[in-house]
Amino acid sequence: MSKGVLAIVSGFSGAGKGTVMQRLMAKYDNYALSISATTRLPRKDETDGIQYFFLTKEEFETMIAEDALIEYAKYSENYYGTPRAYVKEKMESGQDVILEIEMQGAMKVKEKMPDVVLIFIAAPSVMELRNRLVGRGTEDEEQVNRRFEAAKREVGHIEDYDYLLINEDADVCADEVHRIIQCERNHIVCAENKVENYASFIEKMRKEFSAC
Ligand code: 5GP
């Protein structure tokens, strides 16, 4: 059996990638979405083992020491990392595996596994991003600002990704993620969404961020 595709979905905090992943998983049954470990506290609607494995700093550092993570990064003062065992098992069984992770971790995976497919999800504008981030109400003001600062740094590195999606509608965006991964599975480049085609959009985002 051929090995599954490994795809990474990253994006600015507030771009809606969590919802896109939920829609993708609800609509298509051939994906395995990796559950990350994190030291951040669960939000009101989150359950251990569903959205994340919520660990203490000591537990997380034990996983690092045991080389049980494919990658990990510090983001907004917390550790986040991808447990190795699940990804390996699912890929070997032929399933396509998706990691929804931030940029530093994505680049570490790319170094180790150059065949990984990198997809970046952006909001249509910086104002829309800020509105979504504040509007979802899951972070306090300090956290919102920290995440916004992270997005400002991330906008400088979008070209390191293979594909860019502008999330105006989570269902459409989920279908696009599906299309890209299925193209890649068949060794076809999904030309429409290649990051090279979005130079003017990326430039616009950079200008909007630098004006904030
Ligand atoms: P949140 O706290 O909003 O759930 O996630 C914050 C950021 O951490 C998001 O960009 C999310 O994609 C990223 N993230 C989630 N899991 C992982 C992981 O296992 N590794 C890395 N590097 N980033 C992750």
Mutational pocket test of ligand 1: of 20, 77, 101, 161, the residue with most ligand atoms within 8 Å of the beta carbon: 101
Phi, psi dihedrals of residue 48, rounded to the nearest 5°:
-60, 130
Q: pLDDT category, 212, cuts 50, 70, 90? A: confident
Name which residue sits closest to atom 11 of ligand 1, judged by CA: 101
Q: Is 39 in the pocket of ligand 1 (CB under 6 A)?
A: no
Q: Give the pLDDT confidence of 66-101 residue by residue, as tens digits.
A: 999 999 999 989 999 999 999 999 999 999 999 999
Q: Give the pLDDT confidence of 111-147 residue by residue, as tens digits.
A: 999 999 999 999 999 999 999 999 988 889 999 999 9
Tell me which amino acid residue 120 is: F
Q: How remote is the CA of residue 101 from the centroid of ligand 1, in Å?
A: 5
What does the block give as tokens for 156? 């400088």
pLDDT score at 122:
96
Q: Give the pLDDT confidence of 6-15 residue by residue, as tens digits.
A: 999 999 999 9
Tell me how far apart the alpha carbons of residues 156 and 84 are, in angstroms, rounded to a whole number.
Answer: 29
Q: Is 13 in the pocket of ligand 1 (CB under 6 A)?
A: yes
Burial class of residue 182 (count of CB atoms within 10 Å of its CB; 0-12, 13-18, 19+): middle
Per DSSP bridges, beta strands 96-100 and 6-11 are parallel
Tell me how far apart the alpha carbons of residues 19 and 30 are, in angstroms, rounded to a whole number.
Answer: 18
Tell me which amino acid residue 128 is: E
Residue 201 predicted with pLDDT over 80: yes
Q: pLDDT category, 30, cuts 50, 70, 90? A: confident
Neighbours of 99 (CB within 10 A): 20
Q: How remote is the CA of residue 2 from the centroid of ligand 1, in Å?
A: 28
Q: How remote is the CA of residue 118 from the centroid of ligand 1, in Å?
A: 15
Number of helices and strands in the chain (H, E): 8, 9
Q: How remote is the CA of residue 1 from the centroid of ligand 1, in Å?
A: 31
Tell me how far apart the alpha carbons of residues 107 and 116 are, in angstroms, rounded to a whole number.
Answer: 10
Mutational pocket test of ligand 1: of 9, 12, 36, 76, the residue with most ligand atoms within 8 Å of the beta carbon: 36
Task: Report in angstroms the alpha-carbon separations of 170 from 18, 132, 158, 195.
Answer: 9, 13, 20, 19
Residue 176 predicted with pLDDT over 70: yes
Q: How remote is the CA of residue 201 from the centroid of ligand 1, in Å?
A: 24
CB 109 within 8 A of CB 99: yes
Q: Specify the ligand 1 atom closest to the Cα of 11.
A: 10
pTM: 0.96
The sign of the CA dihedral 132, 138, 142, 148 is: negative
Tell me, rounded to whole angstroms, the distance of Cα 209 from its chain centroid. 20
Quote the mean pLDDT of the chain: 95
Q: How remote is the CA of residue 102 from the centroid of ligand 1, in Å?
A: 5
Residue 2 predicted with pLDDT over 80: no
Q: pLDDT category, 107, cuts 50, 70, 90? A: very high
pLDDT score at 123:
95
